[in-house]
Structure 1
Amino acid sequence: MNVKDIIKSSPILYTALSAAWESRKKISNLVPDEPYIKMQYKKQMGKKIDLSNPETFNEKIQWLKLHCHNPLMTKCADKYEVRSYVEERIGNGVLNKLYGVYQKVEDIDLSVLPNSFVIKVNHGSGQNIICKNKDHMDFNHAFSKIKRYLKSNHYSYGREWAYKDIKPLIIIEEYLDDNGRPPADFKILCFHGKPEIIQLDLDRFGQHRRNYYNVDWSQMDLRFIVDNSSYEVPKPDNLDEMICFATRLAIGFPFVRVDFYNFDGKIYFGEMTFYPNNGIGTFYPEENNKLMGNKLVLPIQ
């Protein structure tokens, strides 16, 4: 068990560190967006960012935070509201089951929920709690975390504008189980409404591996944060359908990543993301950062 796991498993440690983190965020919120983004980029990437002439993918994502404020982005970043957008564009057949929507944990009636499910907040990123078995779940600890999530604003950390005005809610959804593991996660990167690159995440809560493919399923020489898998992944039978769905959902956005789960011959919508990894991360080889940046043409200011 690593340090992160130890902290998560200890309610006292988790509460103390969360409180310290929230205090730090309140102070950082006093800094305007542009200087904050510049400081964060310099700290994480070890170099200055030129927002007047961004060239790489990471740099252009930072520019979009400041200048691309389409109200539809807020709806699509909202993990509850996006369901109606998906239904309108591609139908409800790709939506997983929604068991409930709540404003506070006290409203949740565990007796009416199935044995397994996922609890998440609609305005966060990675703030999900998986319940595989209600009888073995520490709901006091889980609900304590959810309460803290509800008080947070994901915009504060990286100035990801789309999250700024989302009204916090709790949603409980179906847990997708692929033989005891989460299903493969297909993340389709769309530039100006056109799918260009597919990021495949495998075994995210175990031996996490990540591959990148062109839309014809030829693997790219690209590694980003997580190592590539050591085995060849066959092209999924319904890849063309996923690409078609992503195209319909990406219309009108300069960049968006559209995520799907795909197993047992069925496609499930995951989420839409406008700022992958907060626009901060090292590409290997590094030239891929520029290659992806070339696909994202920013409007002249």
Structure 2
Amino acid sequence: MGDVWGFRKKEKMEWLRLDESKKDCYSQKLYRRMLYDRNPLLVTMEDKYKAREYVLSKAACKVPELLWWSAETPVKIPWDTLPDRYVIKTNHWSGDGVYFINNSTIPLQGIAEDMTIGEMYRVVENGTDHRGKKVSRKWMERKLSRLLKKRYAMGLEWATQEINPPVIMIEEMLTINGGLPTP
């Protein structure tokens, strides 16, 4: 088949190539499914807001409490009404605009400096990220406002293109032994 996908038109990811000689490999099966499986449930599960509603309807597991959500731009977060620990994210974006906020006097445990990717994921404790850089509420609101106006850029993840409306969600932060859950 030889299909190739790229993040940007000029930049091809050769490792994301369908290869008929390796069609029984897990990665090839996964790529094929990403390309051709148009199950509508994938859109529901890609949408973080709709996925939480779906999981709640199945009573399958504990779902973090939804503290606030909005589709309005510019984003205006009700900071003073939030608890000490929470997570801010969008429902439609993957790999960017996720903030783990801790305003309690007890620091989160086990946060490695390389745990997050640049501007994409941030662990913010009392206004400072885990690398020691100040992170303002206004900066987060501007970044989230920009993400609400965009569609997710990775065409390979087709289901993200179908998520409507894009929203900002704030959920309670679940911790394990005082730290963030790890995969």
Shorter-chain TM range is: 0.5 to 0.7
Per mean C-alpha deviation after superposition, the further-off stretch among 129-138 and 169-178 is 129-138
Does the 8 Å CA contact 2:93/2:147 hold for their aligned counterparts?
yes
Which digits, 9 at most, give the CA deviation of each residue in 1:178-223, with x for residues without a partner?
A: 3442024xxxxxxxxxxxxxxxx2xxxxxxxxxxxxxxxxxxxxxx
What corresponds to 1:60 in structure 2? 29
Higher RCO structure, 1 or 2 (CA under 8 Å, sep 6+) = 2
The one-letter code sitting in structure 1 at the alignment partner of 2:13 is K
Cα gap change, 1:51/1:111 in structure 2, threshold over 3 Å: closer, same or farther? Answer: farther
The one-letter code sitting in structure 2 at the alignment partner of 1:110 is W
Does the 8 Å CA contact 1:41/1:48 hold for their aligned counterparts?
no
| Identical counterparts, % of pairs | 30
Alpha-carbon distance in structure 2 between the residues aligned to 1:74 and 1:116? 29
Q: How does 1:39-54 map to 2 (within 5 A)?
A: 43-45=13-15, 48-50=17-19, 54=23
CA RMSD of aligned residues (A): 2.9
The one-letter code sitting in structure 1 at the alignment partner of 2:144 is I
Alpha-carbon distance in structure 1 between the residues aligned to 2:20 and 2:34? 11
Q: Secondary structure at the match of 2:69?
A: strand
Per mean C-alpha deviation after superposition, the further-off stretch among 56-65 and 77-86 is 56-65
* Runs of 4 or more above 4 Å deviation: 39-42
The one-letter code sitting in structure 1 at the alignment partner of 2:85 is S
TM-score between both structures, scaled by the size of structure 2:
0.68
Q: How does 1:1-301 map to 2 (within 5 A)?
A: 35-36=4-5, 43-45=13-15, 48-50=17-19, 54-91=23-60, 94-104=62-72, 105-127=74-96, 128-133=98-103, 135-136=126-127, 138-154=136-152, 156-167=153-164, 168-184=166-182, 201=183
Does the 8 Å CA contact 2:75/2:142 hold for their aligned counterparts?
no
TM-score between both structures, scaled by the size of structure 1:
0.43
Equivalenced residues, count: 148
Alpha-carbon distance in structure 2 between the residues aligned to 1:88 and 1:50? 39
Stretches of structure 1 that go unaligned for 5 or more consecutive residues are 1-33, 185-200, 202-301
Cα gap change, 1:90/1:171 in structure 2, threshold over 3 Å: closer, same or farther? Answer: same
Q: Secondary structure at the match of 1:173?
A: strand
Alpha-carbon distance in structure 1 between the residues aligned to 2:155 and 2:11? 9
Alpha-carbon distance in structure 2 between the residues aligned to 1:152 and 1:52? 37
Does the 8 Å CA contact 2:4/2:13 hold for their aligned counterparts?
no
Does the 8 Å CA contact 1:117/1:131 hold for their aligned counterparts?
yes
Q: Which has the higher helix share?
A: 1
The one-letter code sitting in structure 2 at the alignment partner of 1:147 is S
The one-letter code sitting in structure 2 at the alignment partner of 1:56 is C
